[in-house]
Structure 1
Amino acid sequence: MSKQKSDVFSALNLAVLTVSDTRTEENDTSGQLLVEKLKEAGHKLSDKKIVIDDIYKIRAVISQWVADDGIQGILVTGGTGFTGRDSTPEAVTPLFDKTVEGFGELFRQISFEQIGTSTIQSRAVAGLANGVIIFCMPGSTNACRTAWDDIISAQLDSRQGPCNFVAQLKKTEIENCRSRG
């Protein structure tokens, strides 16, 4: 089946993972923000979990979701800093088929305007694994808001041009990139 250009929004099935040793459903403001943002954008929440900051526990949840035919994207909040327990990049990057270097670069560039040079301690990463886009961002609610509002929402919108990630995801029928004209 050939892929078509999309002028129509395509709702995606997204999962949210909070990586934290202290957060619960009651105080997970970052995870809840991402759930609210994705729903406001018209996407569907497939699953939401909180896992402690442990490489193998993080990797187990992400691997399960990447293997799930119903999940097209994963938003991960937490564990991207430099403290001893921060291990999200180490857990997730080995699962990537392709790394999206531009996500971390752009996130830090935008964050510089908000938090100055402290942004160099962000290890925000993104990649594709088995047709699933994975965005890993800091655990700060403001950082998640920045990542979603300024980068992720547009890249998960099938109408965004000239390129977005929707065409790269499993179970989509959308043409890759439009011409810049």
Structure 2
Amino acid sequence: MPNAIRRYVRFIDRTNEIVGLIMMYMIFLMIGILLYSSIMKTVAIPPLWTLEMAQFVMVTYYMVGGGWALKNDAHVRMDLIYANWQPRTKALIDTVTVLFLIFYLCLLLYGGFSSTSYALKYGETSYSAWSPYMAPVKIIMCFGIALTLLQAVAQLFKDIAIARGEEIS
């Protein structure tokens, strides 16, 4: 594989590793928000923002962590047959399936950009009583989809290298 591709794969792997590790701690923020909400329900009137804010934090947690999950092969896979294949056969099949993933992520990112631009242009808010602006969470979603897309391209390069009998690390 060309040196530029090797550098790209290493850079994207490193980026998603760092971002993924940071995102792991978002779960504690969500737990804190929900704990605060629970305490306030027993002591006083619960604030309107806690449930929706916990949902926004959860969106950040799983959308931005998608690239990390792809990099570390932490996603769900039906491997009844796949587990018994040789690494090169797995890489050939993964090369085809990651192309479908890249296509899907491109469509998702296109829709995300469209939705984000709408939210920014018209000041879209949630329909809840709290009514927060939706643009920040949509921007975060686009960022997470983009990181996952970049990781999928890196995975494609890794699979092609393995299918050719090479290794990229």
Same fold (TM over 0.5): no
Structure with more helix by fraction: 2
Q: TM-score, normalised by structure 1?
A: 0.24
Which of the pair has more CA radius of gyration? 2
Q: TM-score, normalised by structure 2?
A: 0.26
Between 1 and 2, higher relative CO (CA 8 Å, sep ≥ 6) is seen in 2
